[in-house]
Chain A
Amino acid sequence: MTGPASAAPRTLPPAPPAGRAAPAATSSGVRATARLVARTDGRGGTCLPVLESDGPLALRRTRGDADEARVVLVGAMSGPLGGDRFAVRADVEEGARLRLTSAAATIALPGQAGGDARYDLRIRVGDGARLGWLPEPLISARGSDLRVTTRVDVAPTATLVLREEQVLGRVGEEPGRLSGRLVLRVGARLVLDQEVACGPGAPAGWDGPAVLAGHRALGQLLVVRPSFAEHPPEARLLGETASLVPLAGPAVLVTALAPDGLRLRRVLDAALAELG
């Protein structure tokens, strides 16, 4: 079993794009932008004045804690497929508390429209706000070509816990092409900007001893916390292919490689339990 259990129910092969007549379907793929705003409700809780699903990107509010709103991102169709343009905009305003998860893994698939797919996440976390962004993994299926961009702007007094996991190929499958860029700003300062590109067509050496060395699951846990400015955790290894490092700012990054998604999650969960 390569991916987490939640990825299993996805059918193979993908449904043809013809059946996806949803919102802004064009000849080149689906365009969809989901939007979310979390705001304090004035009674110590968090409300969601904006919760807009769009086509394949469905946002569902679930029962949360007293002070924390919870949202689940549900993939209403397969994809992203080649040519699709997905986006999520999330704004956690001053003092609000939000935890976002997803119902299942996202599987990047090839599409008839051809070309690459884009998944663009823009996240803002305001003063004193707290966001946990903990979706299920992204699985890069054979023949797919997806570029994910995650841009996060965090106020210096805010807290963020963000997890990203990429699994290269379903069980026993060659991966597609996948590139992910993660950009973090804390206040005005650029704290993290990194891109990982892998799969067929990626620059040479991506699976070699400097980059992935045959590992098929790659994950990151990014934690921003105001107290890290004064007291950053010390860099250390979490096993042979994972490290926890303080960034050049009030943030910590866990980078982990594993043979599969399950073992990757174990490493990230252990780090999350400690840092989250």
Chain B
Amino acid sequence: MTKAALLVLADGRFPAGGHAHSGGAEAAVRAGRITGSADLEDFCRGRLHTAGLVAAALAAAAALGADPVALDEAADARTPSPALRGTARRLGRQLLRAARSAWPDAGLDALARTFPKGAHQPVVLGVTARAAGLDARDAAYCAAYESVSGPATAVVRLLSLDPFDATGVLARTAGEVDRVTDRAVAAARTALTEGVEALPAASAPLLEIGAEAHAARPTRLFAS
């Protein structure tokens, strides 16, 4: 196995459905809470330390071999918004399809059998990392980075933001992505012995509320 598999998995063009989602950025733009790159940066930091941290820890725990069913229930409990639960499962199912083509693996097959309509995306991401020969830290990195890169890419389209500014946001938050990854991996290791309550549960009220507002809109550019 090779570390370059991490680049394949983290590539924004990996065909797992992410392109149709804004990570809550479209709802925040519509509500007037993101109007430029400074707001985007603040949004990305908030998402990284909440939804991003939780996703990274779930992914790391799955990569360490924790029970996907228990992790999926933990993910449900950490996602009060039914719109976000639906999104997480759809993206999990799409990722699982791409992963099984890229890295055929009995663990991925078993996950598809247990969750025919999709498990939460971070859980699938962790099992995928395992199948690709990657470790818990790699899985956590993918999840943490995805939590900021998704909104940044979407806001370029939503606000016609200068793409260099959006990339600057990603560069400036990179150090925090490192720290969130460290926290996530440490929590995932603890969860192996202490159970899923050791996983972080950081939440972002406006992401939850915004997701429901977005789901109720008749017109939107992104699915979430």
A–B contact (CB under 8 angstroms): yes
Check if B166 is an interface residue, CB within 8 A of chain A: no
Question: When the two chains form their complex, are residues B80 and A194 in contact, meaning their CB atoms are under 8 A apart?
Answer: yes
Question: When the two chains form their complex, are residues A237 and B213 in contact, meaning their CB atoms are under 8 A apart?
Answer: yes
CB distance from B22 to the nearest CB of A (A): 12
Question: When the two chains form their complex, are residues A245 and B46 in contact, meaning their CB atoms are under 8 A apart?
Answer: no
Which positions 204-221 of chain B face chain A at CB distance < 8 Å?
204-209, 212-213, 215-216
Question: When the two chains form their complex, are residues B204 and A211 in contact, meaning their CB atoms are under 8 A apart?
Answer: yes
Question: When the two chains form their complex, are residues B81 and A193 in contact, meaning their CB atoms are under 8 A apart?
Answer: no
Which of A195, A205, A212, A236 sits near B48, CB closer than 8 Å? A205
Chain B residues, CB < 8 A from A209: 28, 33-34, 39, 42-43, 46, 206
Which positions 14-59 of chain B face chain A at CB distance < 8 Å?
24, 28, 31, 33-34, 39, 42-50, 53
CB distance from A272 to the nearest CB of B (A): 18
Name B70's closest neighbour in chain A (CB-CB): A190
Chain A residues, CB < 8 A from B46: 204-206, 208-211
Which of A240, A246, A255 sits near B205, CB closer than 8 Å? A255
CB distance from A202 to the nearest CB of B (A): 8
Give the size range of A's interface with the partner.
35 or more
Name B53's closest neighbour in chain A (CB-CB): A203
Chain A residues, CB < 8 A from B205: 196, 211-212, 218, 255, 257
Kindly supply a per-residue 1/0 record for chain A positions 118-153, scoring 1 wherever the CB is within 8 Å of any chain B CB and 0 otherwise: 000000000000000000000000000000000000
**Size of chain B's interface in residues, with CB distance under 8 A?**
44
Check if B100 is an interface residue, CB within 8 A of chain A: no
Chain A residues, CB < 8 A from B39: 208-209
Check if B73 is an interface residue, CB within 8 A of chain A: yes
Check if A243 is an interface residue, CB within 8 A of chain B: yes
27 contacts between A and B (CB under 8 A): A181-B201, A183-B201, A184-B77, A193-B74, A196-B203, A203-B50, A205-B45, A205-B49, A205-B50, A206-B49, A208-B43, A210-B28, A210-B44, A213-B33, A235-B81, A235-B82, A235-B215, A237-B209, A241-B209, A242-B209, A245-B208, A246-B82, A247-B76, A247-B77, A248-B79, A248-B85, A255-B80
Asked if A211 meets B209 with Cβ closer than 8 Å, knowing A194-B80, A195-B201, A255-B80, the reply is no
Q: State in angstroms the CA–CA spacing of A189 and B205 once bound together.
A: 23
Which of B81, B196, B203 sits near A243, CB closer than 8 Å? B81
Q: State in angstroms the CA–CA spacing of A181 and B203 once bound together.
A: 10
Q: State in angstroms the CA–CA spacing of A255 and B3 once bound together.
A: 42
Q: What residues of chain B have their CB less than 8 Å away from a CB belonging to chain A? A: 24, 28, 31, 33-34, 39, 42-50, 53, 73-74, 76-83, 85, 176, 196-197, 200-209, 212-213, 215-216
Chain B residues, CB < 8 A from A237: 209, 212-213, 216
Asked if A235 meets B206 with Cβ closer than 8 Å, knowing A191-B77, A210-B24, the reply is no
Which of A195, A205, A211, A247 sits near B80, CB closer than 8 Å? A247
Check if A161 is an interface residue, CB within 8 A of chain B: no
Q: State in angstroms the CA–CA spacing of A181 and B76 once bound together.
A: 16
CB distance from A209 to the nearest CB of B (A): 4
The number of A-B residue pairs with CB atoms under 8 Å apart is: 132
Known: A193-B197, A197-B202, A204-B176. 13 other contacts (CB 8 A): A190-B76, A193-B77, A194-B78, A204-B46, A206-B46, A208-B39, A209-B28, A210-B204, A212-B206, A213-B206, A243-B208, A245-B81, A248-B73
CB distance from A199 to the nearest CB of B (A): 14
Chain B residues, CB < 8 A from A190: 73-74, 76-77, 196
Kindly supply a per-residue 1/0 record for chain A positions 176-202, scoring 1 wherever the CB is within 8 Å of any chain B CB and 0 otherwise: 000001011000011111111100000
Question: When the two chains form their complex, are residues B203 and A195 in contact, meaning their CB atoms are under 8 A apart?
Answer: yes
Q: State in angstroms the CA–CA spacing of A253 and B77 once bound together.
A: 11
Q: State in angstroms the CA–CA spacing of A213 and B209 once bound together.
A: 12
Q: State in angstroms the CA–CA spacing of A105 and B215 once bound together.
A: 36
Name A179's closest neighbour in chain B (CB-CB): B202
Which 3 residue pairs across A and B have the least CB separation, nearest first?
A: A205-B46, A205-B45, A208-B42
